[in-house]
Structure 1
Amino acid sequence: MSCDIRLLNNIGFDCSKPAKAGLETKALLINRADIDKTALTLSGAAVTNISLTSGATAYSIGWVKQLGSTASSFVANENGLNKFSHTFNCRIFGQGVEDAHRVAELANGEYVLVVQTKWGAGTDEAFKIYGLTSGLFMTEGAQNSGESDASFTFVLASQEGFEEQYHQYIWKEGTYAAMKAKFDARLVD
């Protein structure tokens, strides 16, 4: 790779794809070790053939309104290879035994997040992936009986020094309908 990195195309505005913020109300959390890296194909920011290892599953996480969100931040690197840090803010609404187990699991795992954005709804660019090459880890978590309906709020984020090349990866695997079916089936073909 050349150290002389330059802008290679225009940055325009496509009226057929107007700006639209937000996520749909469900995402997939995947244990990073469960991604079949032999099947995965990366072409720049485009991802195809996202599959799981035999016997693995992706886990859905749901929320209401805008209580689940993603963010990416630019991280300048003194060595010249700048990257992006990702965060996913969400909450676990329940307070039962199973909810406590999920919090403990989140606290100790490494994850990849697949979300469906409202931007590009119905197109082959609606699904974004975070943590694909470096993982997401719990960096914050709190529960207060008098706030946020006593839910456990948490943040999964990139670790410092292990950011990713793109501010988001875009899952582009066939048509929107095919990707949506695979997403709804938690990536099981």
Structure 2
Amino acid sequence: MSVMMPTRRMMIGAVASAAIVSGLPVAAETSGVPSSRWDDLLSRWQEAVREAEEYRAGAYQPSWDRIEEQCGPCPGTSFSSTARNGHTVTIRMKHADFDEWRESFVWGREAAPVCDTFDRWIASRTAAEARPAHRAISDRMHFLWEAVDRAEEALMSFSAPHASALAVKVGIALEGGMTDEDIRSDHRAALLADVAAIAGQSNVSP
């Protein structure tokens, strides 16, 4: 059960990269790799990104917005208690420990209402997410995301025929602001191989 709308960090970078691509000049082949195949893979990736983003904005996001409106925001799992000396302490509970908090001789009176409210929200949210209409939309969204993944993998594994292609691959790998540590190892290796080929070098060290 998900208690908040699933996010897709990849889509941010993919959409940004797709926009950048449109502004890149057509480049001549510099690595000895035919560019026609690259152009085809790039077109397929752009189309997959476009279709996924349109569905996300037109169906997936609105479906989650309706659930948010119906169920309301996630309630807190903390409560405050004031001792006789006037000192107030705030305690944050873990959902897995609710039963223990409810049965607590010291904290049960304050904890139980908070636990009950949160459990009612969980039940409402679970029921809303399980509705056939929402499940169908969610399943379709994940299918489109998987299509983007497949198109991206095909594009990233294909040797860049020129510098503009390499720029596209770098944009995808960085995904709109990722750090070097977040770049997948196979993508990093492919990028280094592209740089070496375009630069006419035998190898490029990371």
TM-score, with length taken from structure 2: 0.19
TM-score, with length taken from structure 1: 0.20
Greater share of helix residues, 1 or 2?
A: 2
Greater share of strand residues, 1 or 2?
A: 1
Q: Which of 1 and 2 has higher RCO (CA within 8 Å, sep 6+)?
A: 2
Return the index of the structure with the highest Cα Rg: 2
